[in-house]
Amino acid sequence: MKSANKTQTLGTLLQQFFTHFLQEQRDVSQCTVASYRDTFRLLLGFAEKELGRHPAELALADLNAKLVLAFLDYLEKDRHNKARTRNSRLAGIRSFMHFVSLKEPQALAICEQVLAIPVKRYERPLIGYVSREEIKAILEAPDENTWSGQRDRVLFATMYNTGARVSELIRMRVSDLTISDTAVIRIHGKGRKLRSVPIWKSTARQLKQWLAVSSLSNDQALFPNRKGAQLTRTGITDRLMLATRQAATNCQSLIEQRVTPHIVRHSTAMHLLQSGVDITIIALWLGHESPATTHGYIEADLAMKENAMNSLTPSNQTCSRFKASDKLMKFLDTL
């Protein structure tokens, strides 16, 4: 009976965490719920193999720091997850432990040990992006004589214009688009944050033509599949990769490149930055929480760094280098 009480405690806490805490109290997005759900599916499955008990038989005390650390190692070594994925899984576990520490004070020691597990540091690669000529080749690659080609052309044009995430593109509805004297599209961003992004005239013309051809209703996805349902993340990525391969026949620099929706998003930011748009405006454009996130694009642009260097050091001036005297070198050699 004692084991049954423990089982009920863990099961009840998990149910309360997902239904009452995450969905009712915090009202988090469905994406967050799905991410945390997958984390605990993996964690409970790992605990079952390690402890030899079914998930329904596990106690709260079984989810201690030792087990969680072993689980994180399993993610990296056996599932070959990167540090970012490992940290994302840890975030879900820590959120649950924060909840448990408030609901079950007697479990505070276990919670504190798990909460003390640090996130793992990792190298942040430079942001990848493609040039304007490469983007132009991709935008013109889909066959405009087919329905899917017409959709892909306006989809990629909107993707590049707005710098939207692929999840934001999927959620776009016809009602989110306003085409009048000034064309604007409303984007449902991360954390349920709404933002409005201006549409360039060329993109607005394509969108007008697309709405005339597709005859979509206001509540339909702006870029549907052939059945009228919204495209999937994989569907958009596959269509973009197909367009990239087609564009590579005329643009040789695309042959070895793997262009994803996020690369297009980065390219939008880089091209805005290179055009002189203020970094705070770009942060608003992309829906960044802070302009500090947008500073990564400056790091990726070597041309901007070179211009900054040239503006500080006149091109006709050579920098003198320090030359140590023999006495100084002898002194250093004695250290």
Look up 297 and say whether it is catalytic.
yes
Residue 47 corresponds to which tokens in the numbers above? 């605990």
Look up 262 and say whether it is catalytic.
yes
Catalytic residue among 36, 129, 160, 297: 297
Catalytic residue among 89, 94, 165, 271: 165
Residue 30 corresponds to which tokens in the numbers above? 């469905």
Element holding 198 (H helix, E strand): strand 194-198
Residue 121 corresponds to which tokens in the numbers above? 């540091």
Q: Residue 209 and residue 197: Cα distance in Å, rounded?
A: 20
Catalytic residue among 89, 151, 265, 271: 265
Torsion of the alpha carbons at 321, 325, 326 and 330, rounded to the nearest 10:
-90
Q: Residue 228 and residue 220: Cα distance in Å, rounded?
A: 8
Q: Which amino acid is at 87?
A: N
Q: Residue 240 and residue 253: Cα distance in Å, rounded?
A: 16
Q: Residue 231 and residue 224: Cα distance in Å, rounded?
A: 5
Look up 173 and say whether it is catalytic.
no
Look up 121 and say whether it is catalytic.
no
Sorted by sequence, the CB contacts under 8 Å of residue 218 that are 6+ apart come out as 173, 174, 175
Q: Residue 164 and residue 142: Cα distance in Å, rounded?
A: 20
Catalytic residue among 53, 103, 173, 262: 262
Q: Residue 161 and residue 164: Cα distance in Å, rounded?
A: 8
Catalytic residue among 190, 195, 205, 208: 190
Q: Which amino acid is at 313?
A: T
Q: List, by residue number, the catalytic residues.
A: 165, 190, 262, 265, 288, 297
